[in-house]
């Protein structure tokens, strides 16, 4: 797969200092996980699921999850299974293209045994397109069996299947059990690292355990019990940079009356207008605020600051903002390359004359930036995510 493949050559050349590269499943696991970007969830019951997948891939989606768990009612499971298998079969015969490759398509299952059942029912075309499974309510009680089932599925297919565990159970967030539960999760994902692509966060379920639901005026980091849990998940599961943890779902997509003014600054959009000599930046900001996407943008920025990469999304309108915010600025890229150029320690002044780059403390950060640069590209000097959004809008109209 390759991000921003819908941009024409001239537009991509003007936008990127280093263009996004094609990512294949045989690449470094952390690179493939980074390239997930905005992972779009779709209920397995959607009546024209194959058509929906093709349409979203054409609009820049590079990873999708076809959900057989919380997104559908209990009595719909059998019909949803039939629908997902039919959609994958149709898509497998004529795969949707994502740059020079195909998107990563996952199935979110309800039970461990559902994986082998689905694989047994799929034809070769569907099995050839399936990237892996999302494992809900993952923990030390069921995790080993779930990951072993993914491994058996890989052996049946003769190629690796990815697993994406979702941390959303009581033992993960309740304070008295959290450390032991997360320690057990870390041991499991270390043991099965070759098959575990990324760890996902079930913030909605975690909030629901306390009767909480974040308001659209807030980010998940304003919900104290969930924020503390995320910190411990990053501390234990993402420690050392061995595993990628993705950002939790943003669940709003329609804008009612606002309680607070937008925190989205005007300056970056005005600067984009000055460079282009237009008013497009101001229009984009207005559209983002009107569509309630400014809060999503703030949460993605906080995700990245806290060590989370990518995000679960439930509406196509979320995808461009998430993808744009993962593109690397030239300043980030040059600082990262300076840090990675030496391993003897010490300090180097940034060429931007605004910070110090410490070669040892900043090394894991720099490695993550380099992976993000390969997957999403590096912007030209003075360009920002606003320019990516503008180019995306123009290309997809």
Give the relative orientation of helices 280-290 and 385-396 as an angle to the nearest 10 degrees: 80
Provide the pLDDT confidence category of residue 287 given band limits of 50, 70 and 90: low
Whether residue 38 contacts residue 323, with contact meaning beta carbons closer than 8 Å, is answered with: yes
Domain 9-258+289-325 maps to which CATH number in 3.30.950.10, 3.40.50.2000, 3.20.20.60, 3.30.70.3190? 3.20.20.60
Residue 355: pLDDT band by 50, 70, 90 thresholds?
confident
In b/e form, how buried is each residue of 192-210, taking b as 16+ CB within 10 angstroms? Answer: beebbbbbbbbbbbbbeee
For position 271, what pLDDT does the model report? 65
- Per domain, the residue ranges of the chain are 9-258+289-325, 330-396
Per the CB < 8 A criterion, the answer to whether 50 and 87 are in contact is yes
d(CA 24, CA 30): 12
Query: Which of 101-105, 109-113, 182-186, 332-336 comes out lowest in average pLDDT?
Result: 101-105
pLDDT at 374 over 70: yes
Pair 103, 40: CB distance under 8 Å: no
* 252-268 pLDDT tens trace: 876 655 555 566 667 67
Say yes or no to pLDDT of 290 above 80. no
Which pLDDT does position 356 carry in this prediction? 85
Length of the chain: 397
What is residue 277's predicted lDDT score, i.e. its pLDDT? 55
Indicate the range of 188-197, 273-282, 353-362 predicted with least confidence.
273-282
Q: How many CB atoms lie within 10 A of CB 353?
A: 6
pLDDT exceeds cutoff 90 at 34? yes
Question: Worst-scoring range by mean pLDDT, 38-42, 86-90, 339-343, 374-378?
Answer: 339-343
**How far apart, in whole angstroms, are the C-alpha atoms of residue 84 and residue 50?**
9
Q: What percent of the chain has pLDDT over 90?
A: 75
Is 33 within 8 Å of 197 (Cβ atoms)?
Answer: yes
For range 272-285, the mean pLDDT: 63
pTM value?
Answer: 0.91
3-state secondary structure 8-70: CHHHHHHHEEECCCCCCCCCCHHHHHHCCCEEEEEECCCCCHHHHHHHHHHCCCCEEEEECCC
Residue 262's pLDDT is 64
Q: Which residues of 253-266 are buried (b: 16+ CB within 10 A; e: fewer)?
A: beeeeeeeebeeee
**Coil/strand/helix, residue 393:** helix
46-83 pLDDT tens trace: 999 999 999 999 999 999 999 999 999 999 999 999 99
pLDDT digits (tens, 9 = 90+) for 90-111: 999 999 887 667 889 999 999 9
Whether residue 396 has pLDDT greater than 90: no
Instruction: Decide if pLDDT at 362 tops 70.
Output: yes
Q: How far apart are CA 303 and CA 368, in angstroms?
A: 14
């Amino acid at each position: 797969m390759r991000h921003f493949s819908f941009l024409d050559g001239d537009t991509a050349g003007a936008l990127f200092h280093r263009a996004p590269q094609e990512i294949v499943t045989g690449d470094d696991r952390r690179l493939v996980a980074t390239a997930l970007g905005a992972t779009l969830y779709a209920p397995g019951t959607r009546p024209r699921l194959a058509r929906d997948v093709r349409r979203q891939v054409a609009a820049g989606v590079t990873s999708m999850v076809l959900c057989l768990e919380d997104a559908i009612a209990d009595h719909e499971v059998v019909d949803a299974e039939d629908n997902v298998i039919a959609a994958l079969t149709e898509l497998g015969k004529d795969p949707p293209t994502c740059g020079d490759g195909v998107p990563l398509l996952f199935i979110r299952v309800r039970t461990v045994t559902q994986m082998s059942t689905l694989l047994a029912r799929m034809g070769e075309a569907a099995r050839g397109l399936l990237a892996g499974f999302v494992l809900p309510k993952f923990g030390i009680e069921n995790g080993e069996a779930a990951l072993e089932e993914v491994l058996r599925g890989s052996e049946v297919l003769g190629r690796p299947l990815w697993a994406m565990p979702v941390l959303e159970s009581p033992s993960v967030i309740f304070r008295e059990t959290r450390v032991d539960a997360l320690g057990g999760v870390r041991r499991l994902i270390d043991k099965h690292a070759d098959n575990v692509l990324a760890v996902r966060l079930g913030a909605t379920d975690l909030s629901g355990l306390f009767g909480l639901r974040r308001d659209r005026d807030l980010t998940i980091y304003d919900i104290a019990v969930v924020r503390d849990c995320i910190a411990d998940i990053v501390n234990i599961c993402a420690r050392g940079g061995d595993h990628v943890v993705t950002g939790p779902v943003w669940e709003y997509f329609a804008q009612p009356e606002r309680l607070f003014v937008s925190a989205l600054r005007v300056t970056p959009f005005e600067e984009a207008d000055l460079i282009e000599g237009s008013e497009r930046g101001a229009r984009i900001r207005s559209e983002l605020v009107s569509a309630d996407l400014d809060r999503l943008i703030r949460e993605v920025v906080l995700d990245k600051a806290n060590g989370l990469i990518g995000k679960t999304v439930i509406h196509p309108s979320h995808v461009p903002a998430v993808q744009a915010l993962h593109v690397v600025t030239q300043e980030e890229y040059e600082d990262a390359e300076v840090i990675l150029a030496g391993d003897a320690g010490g300090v180097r002044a940034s060429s931007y004359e605004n910070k110090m780059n410490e070669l040892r403390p900043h090394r894991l950060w720099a490695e993550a930036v380099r992976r993000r640069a390969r997957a999403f590209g590096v912007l030209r000097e003075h360009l920002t995510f606003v320019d990516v959004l503008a180019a995306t809008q123009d290309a997809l109209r």
